[in-house]
Amino acid sequence: MSDGYSDPERRYDFDRQISEPPTLPPVQPRPTPEPPVQQHHSRNPVDRLTRGLPQPWRVIIDWVVTIVGAILIVLAIKEWVVNPYRIPSSSMEPTLHCAEPATGCEAGFSDRVLANRFIYHLKDPERGDIAVFETPQAAQERCGAGGTFVKRIIGLPGERLELRTQGGLTYVFIDGRRLEEPYIAQDRRDTRNPRTYQVPPGGYFMMGDNRGQSCDSREWGTVPRDNLIGKVFATYWPPNRISIR
């Protein structure tokens, strides 16, 4: 009886088949699961409100809201923070220029200034401040112009202000003491007759630096604090006049 071991060649093949491990199919790697898609939730209220609208409408609404918001911010800044003003007359020359050919103006372009509109809510106005204010009704009657003026604060509440003539020129005295005014050149002083003013509580005496060309508190009286709009702190136009005060 013959078996696999009786024939040497067959025995060799049989042994080799037993000794060699069976060939297994390659192991296929498990597919990596896709991460769950996270839905983005915008915190923008406009996105939330327009979520169900077509994309073009969402873009249009977003632009409209952005533009309107920017306009409101600018208006709020102008109303409560900073506002620009143009110098229309020569009453503050040469500190602030107005444009020729208006009488007494020294420049081709009027100065544009910025006024801090909230500063007087935080502190009291000070002597020497250049302030923007709403004029009393008498300014329209005495000067032929009213509305918003830019002048310098000279007299404070409760003070006695005197105009005295010395050497043919008029100087300001506060409670009997001459006021030093380095911002006024000699040729800008006027020759008005002496006069005394009593600044009432809550009132401010305003004068222009160009005393001979300024219609101010000497003509129409003091300005109530509620009429003060803000303090001029910068000139931003023209470029050669840019400065911080």
For residue range 182-235, list pLDDT tens digits in order.
999 889 999 888 999 999 999 999 999 999 999 999 999 999 999 999 999 999
| Rounded CA separation 25/219 (Å) | 110
**Could you confirm whether 91 is annotated as catalytic?**
yes
Does 28 score more than 50 pLDDT? yes
Which tokens sit at 134? 């709403």
Phi/psi at 235 (5° precision) = -110, 125
Does 3 score more than 60 pLDDT? no
112 Cβ contact partners less than 8 Å away, ≥ 6 residues apart: 84, 85, 86, 87, 235, 236, 237, 238
More confident residue, 174 or 17: 174
Residue of 198, 138, 146, 189 lying closest to 168 (CA atoms): 189
**Could you confirm whether 151 is annotated as catalytic?**
yes
**Span 148-184, pLDDT tens digits:** 999 999 999 999 999 999 999 999 999 999 999 999 9
Q: CB atoms < 10 A from the CB of 165, how many?
A: 14
Catalytic residue among 89, 151, 214, 231: 151
- Beta strands, E only, the chain: 82-86, 112-116, 130-134, 148-155, 160-166, 169-174, 177-178, 195-198, 203-207, 223-224, 228-237, 243-244
What is the predicted pLDDT for the residue at 223?
A: 97
Does 5 score more than 50 pLDDT? no
Mean of per-residue pLDDT scores for the chain: 84
